[in-house]
Chains A and B, each alone.
Chain A
Amino acid sequence: MCMAVPSRIVAIDGGTATVEAFGETRTTSLMLLDEPVAVGDYLILGAGGNFAAEKVAPEAAAEALAYLSEVLASGQA
């Protein structure tokens, strides 16, 4: 299903952010976000990852990342 991996912003350059999740980085557009974001915030990327879909609260991001780590470690992917 449409798993959404919370990705942490490591750099921002204008309307584009570099984000990191599970050791992999990629760039994503911030043009669809309705609130300001900063380095260290967590984002959910839209399908395909070209556009960030929303900012996630750090607690929710931590919980989702912990769950996804378990999923990956269990080999259920």
Chain B
Amino acid sequence: MPPLDTGIAVTLNVSAGAVASVQIRSTRLTQASRLLAGRTADQVATILPTVYALCGTAQGLAAAAAIEAAAGVVPSPAQRMARRFLLQLETVGEHALGILRDWPELLDEPPELAAAKPLRPMLAAAKRGLYPDGDWAKAGGGRLAINPGTLIELMRQVEDVAARIFAGSPETWLREPVLFHAWVRRGETIAARLLRRILDGGLAGFGRSPVPLMPEAGPPDLTWRLAGDRDGSYVTRPDTAGMPLETGSLARQADVPLIAELLVEHGHGLIARFAARLVEIAEALRELEELVLDLSDDAGAPGAIAGSGIGFGLIDAARGLLVHRVELEEGVVRRYQILAPTEWNFHPDGPLRRGLVGVAAGPDLAWRARLLAAALDPCVACSVEVVEYA
């Protein structure tokens, strides 16, 4: 049996004072979804969120969307709203967990565990507060019965998270980039201090890459590439017309004035990527506050999905575009494929490699590479090794 401890290993080969080449090896199980063949839609809804628990909400919702599309089932507006609420809450939680648990290490500080601790329980509480039967990932829709008390408490916790990251309202920067710079200059939160270290170290444009950003509707050739991917090479090393793409916060927030300005000034590098993550949290928080007022009960879909067809589920997961594709025959899965964001961003010729080849070596090279990996936000552990050639 191969080992199950999957991860990404990055090796930087240094020669003549610069990074001559970069190898990215992934031992991630990119084709594990094949084994879903032969199972029913309801079984998929149970297995996927547990097997992919770390981004389980996005995985469960992508599965529901793909199965519904295949079976020709349209979820009600109430279901769509509740799902969007859970998805945005997971995005806030995953981004916040990265900032509070992982960013301190980049500043040689201990993780902010007390602040990170409520994040995952928050999401579990939201699922219980919306879908008391636990069927939030059911294709067609589970039984929605809103518990207002849970939601009020949840929104209070979300505000606490925002305060811990921003220490103030991030709303203003979205309109006024100059206020973002003032926050980076003076802010005392871990996020403000990491961005300040990047700017002060002259690293704002570090890791700049020419890799194009993922279009909002996904790769233009997605449909036929996935259909033809019998050996799994596409979902392991995806490209579009031979070129990898960058997915995630930067691709999604590139048109926000602050990010657009940072892109012009520094390119697709560290500062634009980290700032895009912060903007995404702010946008998601704003959306959560609107959505919470509109959530409503819904009986859900009676019985199991019985249709046949091919369906796609495209979901903006915290780390980028998550795609599920299912071939369904009378409610039973015949073929199941998953294309995850990390396969784009940590592609052997993707934005991480392009951002590191040619950069100057030096004692802090491994740290700079770890910064870039953190900015591209892998969903598994990522190790960095520097090898010197004479």
The interface of chain A, by Cβ under 8 A from chain B, is 1-6, 21-22, 24, 26, 31-34, 44, 46-49, 51, 53-54, 56, 60-61, 63-64, 67-68, 70-77
The interface of chain B, by Cβ under 8 A from chain A, is 1-7, 28-32, 34-35, 46-47, 50-56, 59, 97, 101, 113, 116-118, 120-121, 124, 338, 340, 342, 378-381
Q: Which residues of A contact B380 (CB under 8 A)?
A: 2, 47-48
Q: Which residues of B contact A60 (CB under 8 A)?
A: 46, 50
Measured CB to CB, the nearest residue on chain A to B55 is A2
| Given A1-B28, A1-B338, A49-B4 contact (CB < 8 Å) | no
Q: Which residues of A contact B7 (CB under 8 A)?
A: 48
Complex CA–CA separation, A21 to B116 (angstroms): 25
Structural contact, A3 and B4, CB atoms closer than 8 A: yes
Q: Which residues of A contact B51 (CB under 8 A)?
A: 3-4, 64, 67-68
Structural contact, A53 and B120, CB atoms closer than 8 A: yes
Q: Which residues of A contact B3 (CB under 8 A)?
A: 24
Structural contact, B2 and A32, CB atoms closer than 8 A: no
Shortest distance from the beta carbon of B383 to any chain A beta carbon, whole Å? 9
Which of A32, A44, A73 is the one whose CB lies under 8 Å from B113? A32
Which of A2, A21, A54, A72 is the one whose CB lies under 8 Å from B379? A2
Structural contact, B53 and A56, CB atoms closer than 8 A: yes
Q: Which residues of B contact A33 (CB under 8 A)?
A: 117
Complex CA–CA separation, A8 to B12 (angstroms): 36
Q: Which residues of A contact B46 (CB under 8 A)?
A: 60, 63
| Given A3-B4, A71-B29, A51-B101 contact (CB < 8 Å) | yes
Structural contact, B5 and A71, CB atoms closer than 8 A: no
Which of A3, A22, A32, A53 is the one whose CB lies under 8 Å from B29? A3
Q: Which of A21, A72, A75 has the most CB of B within 10 A?
A: A72
**A to B CB contacts below 8 Å, 18 in the list:** A1-B29, A2-B340, A2-B342, A2-B380, A4-B50, A32-B113, A44-B54, A48-B7, A49-B381, A54-B53, A54-B120, A60-B50, A68-B32, A71-B29, A72-B1, A72-B2, A76-B34, A76-B35
| Given A71-B32, A74-B35, A76-B32, A3-B120 contact (CB < 8 Å) | no
Complex CA–CA separation, A35 to B378 (angstroms): 27
Shortest distance from the beta carbon of A47 to any chain B beta carbon, whole Å? 5
Q: Which residues of B contact A49 (CB under 8 A)?
A: 5, 381
